[in-house]
Structure 1
Amino acid sequence: MSYKSILVNLDVDGSIASIVKTAVEVARGSNARLIGFCAADAYLPVTGPEGAVLAAEVMRQMQDDDRRRFSELREEFEKLVFGAVETEWRDAQENPTYALVQVSRMADLILTEAREGAATGNRSRMADPASVVLQAGRPLLIAGAGAGAAPAPGRKVAIAWKDAREARRAVVDAVPLLRHAEEVTVVTVAATIDQWAREGVADVAAFLASHGITARKEAIESARESERLLEFIDANEIDLVVSGAFGHSRLREWAFGGVTRSLLDEKRLNRFMSS
């Protein structure tokens, strides 16, 4: 089991050096093809009938600017990756979240940054990772961003275990990354740690062992599930958290469970999620 193609999402207005560096490291680990991708959506300014011609001209100018930016980003991406792995480039003048979900059919894994946590600011310029992970049908690796961000993922990994479909999917999807980790911990946090919880952690560790991955087991009893998990992550200097993404559609927005929301909003962490 390995990743054969990895899709790295690049924000049209941001710096790309850090996320491309991370993507190259992950792609090298699996000898995977790396697909650079960027999308942005030009929106028609709100105006009355008398301003329609001017508004259309403004929109065309915005589209031209985005096409030039795509060319600049492609050139920078190819320079940053040059010779490291096989590459491909895609871009789209679409809503970034929608476009990233669509193009994810090309890849085994999606990489992105999320400088503003689960709910990004300008949806016409940035993909929303929370929506992507629930719609793409592919695992999502959200790289840490900003001051204090964790280093490139993979050295010390925590699997935030909950006995549910999403978490089981995440463990399987993360196996190619876990094989390269120096230390893996399967950790569960619950208000009551009973025999069922301990058996679940033990079974996940046994599954990983069958793939040649040694994992230690940790069961933490606490009613403060999200807070205690983050305390464990900090205390053990974890650089990658693997978890299921637990959420459901609520009209046009997504509602998330407490741990999923906390992890999405922890911009400094590398987070690997499946749903």
Structure 2
Amino acid sequence: MADFKSVFKQIFNQKKKYIYLVLLVQLFAVVFMTVFMIITNHVIADGTFWTIFIAGRYGTWWELPFGLMISLSIIADIIFAGIMAWQNEKINSSQTWHQIPISDNKLLIANFLSSMVACACIFIIQIIITCVCLIPTTTYENKNIFVEIWNGLGVGTNNFNYLLNELLLIASLAFIVFAFVSFANLSSRTIMEVLPIKSSGWIRMLIIIILVILAVYIYISVDSQIKNYLSFYYNQKHSVYIQEIMPLWITLLEVLGAGIICASLCFILINKYVEPKIINR
């Protein structure tokens, strides 16, 4: 049997190149937009999307890379998550990968885990690059921005705990995206195999759309029931409206629970119903 660690390393190495690719494109966009704005003396109007991250002014050129890096990181992370989901399905559908002497369950776990680690890596690198972009601000404005950010995080306070919950929620959202995409892919293939009609990409796409609609409907219904119950409970026991007391971790548990359910269904489908096909790695 192949070692889980070695299989994880192989899968991660295959996905690692996309970290560099997305970061290079993002850095090119940051440099290009910074130079373009400086050359054209472009003024950013108050109230626009960019002013959220560029302090509402263009007067200091050294603030541009920092603001652009943060705003473009959001777009880059969404694109990167999509690439990782696509890579997951290539591996799930690959007979070559499934010929490795390791159980399908362990291969699926290594696949999901490698994508999560890749997302964490690109996120950490983006934070480091963003901090580097702050150095000109520290130099020209003669103030330690890093100390201000550290104090703003409020380590050990409720603000910091809320930030940690937000980071965990982001990780859970990435996990549920990967798990649901795999579930939709595997379940649609399973349904296509039992349908008495010729396999068609359009039919499979229709099946996936129906699965997405059902999943969203079920999640909204469950979320509504949970919030109604908690609202009733707290109104009865504490006379406090639910929106004022419900912490972020309830949403975190909902998302994480939905991801675990989708992943569990993936284990069942890939072991009992889906036969991988021979495709290139």
TM-score category (smaller protein): under 0.3
Q: Which of these two proteins has the greater Rg computed from alpha carbons?
A: 2
Structure number with higher helix proportion: 2
TM-score, with normalisation over the residues of structure 2?
0.22
TM-score, normalization by structure 1: 0.22
Which has the larger share of strand?
1
